[in-house]
Structure 1
Amino acid sequence: MGQKQRAARCLDLLSGARREMGLPTAVSQERGDIKIQGSDTHPKKEQRETMTMFENVTRALTRQLNPRGDLTPLDSLIDFKRFHPFCLVLRKRKSTLFWGARYVCTDYTFLDILEPGSSPSDPTDSGNFGFKNMLDARVEGEVDVPKTVKVKGTAGLSRNSTLEVQTLSVAPKALETLHQERKLMAEHPFLEEMRRRGENLYVVMEVVEAVQEVTLERAGRAEGCFSLPFFASLGLQGSVNHKEAVTIPKGCVLAFRVRQLMVKGKDEWDIPHIYNDNMHTFPPGEKPEDEKFTLIQASDVGAVHEDFRTLKEEVQRETQEVEKLSPEGKSSLLSSLSKLLGKKKELQDLELTLEEALGKGHEETLEALPKNVLLSKGAMDAILYFLGALAELSEAQQKLLVKSMEKKILPVQLKLVESTMEQNFLQDKEGVFPLRPELLSSLGEEELTLTEALVGLSGLEVQRSGPQYTWDPDTLPRLCALYAGLSLLRLLTKAS
């Protein structure tokens, strides 16, 4: 296939993907370049694009400030007021350290469930920090004034865009004073409900927030593969003329850190520095006076997830639970997921419904899934795990997964991701590495384009010349999520 034919085919793919995602489809070709023209004024579509860009900003910021750390990017602009210091949040049941814990907001702060008393001092600024190459390596940062960072736009953002951020955290002394002076309101309705459901509660202890209101834009030409999410599905060197914008309010939380709340007896509490998955806010089956809290070293947490084999074993455990479904159940689950992929809000709604159903502790049938799929607790638990992985992928990636299922190339894509991660899981430096030719040799032109785009959106840039690929350790969490998603879909398609 010649260069012009390949470009035309990629244009068709882009138009189809954008049409399915409800995005503008006007595309023209000039001198081998790709231009996306026009803009859609439909409010829901505008909101979806804005939210996607906000999520891109917060994730890129988090990768630069705290790669592989416990800083969590906020993924919803409308929820930022519910993630200020002292806000209470819930962690999704099937969170994993491989692609990061995910949290949902509540309508309460930690202070709301304490007995009345003196208010703690305001959160303090945590100090100086600096970074560069934010927003997919297209923005360079510089420390402008003490305790703040100014990020100035380059190719990826309009040049007049500046994002200034600072960190605010709860001072240890303020927390200590609060602990001495104020007990829990044992009969607070929210606390009683959480105790009944056995939920774990977390307190936001540190945030990264915008110092001033700013409108960030992706504008102008973006060079190279995967430079913009909507261009990524091309899998083609070139450029895009496209404009997106998001206004971030002053004081908007962009990322946050949490610590787990531990309840002792009826009204005693603690917020330990270190926590793990075996700890419970409301320890089950223990008398208050006998409650014990085992702390582990931070190094022990990392040791649990030290290599690719550990990830592979975790994914295999979850796929084994899905495999227990009847053939009809697996087929129905695949059909339902195929309709939901690319609709992030609907996928998240299903995840929330499963969260609630799992809390009931008995088998469930769900409206989002066919009536003939009766889910045991083990199956719900596993599906929730994979929904969490799929939710980490962009809508464009989810759509590409559907196309890949149609092309029956999921096994090849899974092997590609598995092979590169197996070789580089512990690699902490960027680099270009050779790719075994047989990993791509079975793919036709269109299948290769789909595969390049799919893995490229998770940060794995495959180059046909060589062939070779670029490894970036900061993209590891996204690749872990893609690996899990591919594993589930391959199992379901194989069964069908």
Structure 2
Amino acid sequence: MTMFENVTRALARQLNPRGDLTPLDSLIDFKRFHPFCLVLRKRKSTLFWGARYVRTDYTLLDVLEPGSSPSDPTDCGNFSFKNMLDARVEGDVDVPKTVKVKGTAGLSRSSTLEVQTLSVAPKALESLHKERKLAADHPFLKEMRDRGENLYVVMEVVETVQEVTLERAGKAEGCFSLPFFAPLGLQGSVNHKEAVTIPKGCVLAFRVRQLMVNGKDEWDIPHICNDSMQTFPPGGAKRRGVCSIDCALGEMHEDFKTLKEEVQRETQEVEKLSQVGQSSLLTSLSNLLGKKKELQDLEQTLEGALDKGHEVTLEALPKDVLLSKDAMGAVLYFLGALTVLSEAQQKLLVKSLEKKLLPVQLKLVESTMEQNFLQDKEGVFPLRPDLFSSLGEEELTLTEALVGLSGLEVQRSGPQYMWDPDTLPRLCALYAGLSLLQLLSKAS
């Protein structure tokens, strides 16, 4: 992940660990996430590992009839952070007796991250709602209505008060004899440093609420949204590829069973592919894991195809695979989970696949979340001994590294693990990724 992503995710966890504050993942897009900006939710978004949004070139004010401008967003508070590092996201993996890999990204030693929260005042929104109707003939609204998209309005942001410099320092050292570390590029002792400057007024995280269009020119922004609500009234194009489970903003899903059922629904769509199709999909994904840009390109291709109602053919061995709309939606769901994982984790997944470790790893993550999904306090918990009993030293080390990069610290003594509730979204994403790869591996 980029330094910018590392810090925005760390910031969101510190300010709002299990809430609806979404970290911005692209520095270049920050001007499109100010209050009143209109954004789209990514296809097959889920709040289990964080809904993902993409910018548009419009604000709510752009699609309203001309009139008075609302008051500026109000300042809800200032916060300062010093020496903020995010080792859990980038990785701090200690592999016993073999290799030690460290990588952190955060503030430079001389920097302090000063941020403020700005939000749209309820009275300002109420006045805007009374005074200005929707410009029903606006070309952007027409396009979104035809495509069946849901629109969201940025209502609150966390932005920098002053310019700040981020630095990344990484080091890998030790004996890299184990073969599964070769794909990670760990060959010898490596030191690496880089820096990026974030300007004043840069949005780092944001909250949204859904825009609702009632009739021709009436609009509203309700406080609560759910999966049955659509921006545009029924009767037009139906929203394709929306997440199957949503929730009231700021709330977490009920329990692990809800996540499990959601993942099962998506895997059932993938299961409808022929055995050769599943094998080809596995080959294609295996070649892309660890390559962030290529994964994003695939995601954009599938989203574009869904928008136009096209089917997509993935070129892979043993045979090209044709993805239907439903299959594309399911693949997009799992791509959303896989892109939450670091590139190092993605490469470890490929190695786990080769060594047939996915069933054990899936049971480990599943067992952990079944026991602690609603646990909101840190603690040490016993681990089922049978989960590791079949693993040799190399396989155990690989598994420890994979789950450790999602924040699940496993200790062989006991055996036991350290639970941190802030790691839940990344564990949910890992669970979904393991579920898909395990399903596809059965067809190979």
SS of the equivalent of 1:217 reads strand
1:308 equivalenced with 2:256 (yes/no): yes
Is 2:349 the counterpart of 1:409?
Answer: no
The worse-fitting range, judged by mean Cα deviation, of 320-329 and 210-219 is 210-219
Q: Residues 162 and 216 of structure 1 are in contact (CA less than 8 Å); yes or no, is this contact kept in structure 2?
A: no
Among 50, 62, 66, the residue aligned to 2:16: 66
User: More displaced, 119-128 or 309-318?
Assistant: 119-128
Higher strand fraction: Structure 1 or Structure 2?
A: 2
Residue deviations 1:10-67 (CA, integer Å, cap 9, x gap): xxxxxxxxxxxxxxxxxxxxxxxxxxxxxxxxxxxxxxxxx62111111111011111
Identity over aligned pairs, percent: 86
CA contact (8 A) 2:3 2:105 kept: no
Distance (whole Å) between structure 2 residues aligned to residue 240 and residue 460 of structure 1: 26
Partner of 2:331: 383
Q: Which residue identity is paired with 1:471?
A: W
Q: Which residue of 1 aligns with 2:283?
A: 335
In 2, Cα distance between the equivalents of 1:190 and 1:156?
38
Q: In structure 1, what is the equivalent of residue 95 of structure 2?
A: none
Structure with larger RCO (C-alpha < 8 A, sep 6+) = 2
Aligned match of 2:73: 123
Quote the Cα distance in structure 2 between the aligned partners of 1:451 and 1:404.
Answer: 8
Counterpart AA for 1:464? R
SS at structure 1 position matched to 2:322: coil
Q: Structure 1 residues 194, 297: closer, same or farther in 2, change over 3 A?
A: closer
Which structure 1 segments of 5+ residues have no match?
A: 1-50, 139-153, 224-230, 287-295
Q: 2:235 aligns with which of 271, 278, 285?
A: 285
Match of residue 117 from structure 2: 167
Query: Of 295, 301, 310, which aligns to 1:347?
Result: 295
- Residue 25 of structure 1 aligns with which residue? none
Does residue 276 (structure 1) correspond to residue 226 (structure 2)? The answer is yes
Are the equivalent residues in 2 in contact too, given 1:158–1:219 (CA < 8 A)?
A: no
Query: Whole-Å Cα distance in 1 between the matches of residues 227 and 396 of structure 2?
Result: 40
Q: Measure, in 1, the Cα distance between the counterparts of 2:70 and 2:105.
A: 43
Alignment equivalent of 1:266, drawn from 201, 216, 223 = 216
Structure 2 unaligned residues grouped into runs of 5+: 89-103, 174-180, 237-245
| 2:372 matches 1:424 | yes
Q: Give the AA of the match of 1:199.
A: E
Partner of 2:198: 248
* Equivalent position SS for 1:453: helix
Aligned-CA RMSD value = 2.8
Mapped to 2, the partners of 1:155 and 1:488 lie a distance apart of 30
AA of the residue aligned to 1:477: P
Counterpart of 1:107 in structure 2 is: 57
2:126 to 156, 161, 176: 176
Aligned partners of 2:23 and 2:315: how far apart in 1? 28
**1:243 counterpart SS class:** strand
- With the length of structure 1 as denominator, give the TM-score of the two structures: 0.76
Q: Residue by residue, what CA displacement relative to the aligned partner does 1:145-189 show, whole Å, maximum 9, x if unpaired?
A: xxxxxxxxx996542121111101111121112112211221111
Deviations 1:300-320 (A, max 9, x none): x847x2111111111111111
Q: Give CA-to-partner distance per residue, 1:439-477, whole Å, 9 cap, x none.
A: 122222222222111111111011222222111001001
Aligned residue type for 1:179:
H
- Measure, in 1, the Cα distance between the counterparts of 2:59 and 2:348: 40
**Structure 1 stretch displaced more, 316-325 or 342-351:** 342-351
Aligned pairs for 1:136-285 within 5 A:
136=86, 157-219=107-169, 242-285=192-235
Q: Give the structure 2 partner of residue 319 of structure 1.
A: 267
Q: What does residue 344 of structure 2 align with?
A: 396
- Which digits, 9 at most, give the CA deviation of each residue in 1:166-216, with x for residues without a partner? 101111121112112211221111110001011000011110011111112
For 2:25 and 2:116, the matched residues in 1 are separated by: 18
Total equivalences in the alignment: 408
2:396 maps to 448
Does the aligned pair in 2 maintain the 1:195–1:282 contact within 8 Å?
yes
Q: 2 CA distance for matches of 1:191 and 1:326?
A: 39
The offset of 1:104, in angstroms, is 0.6
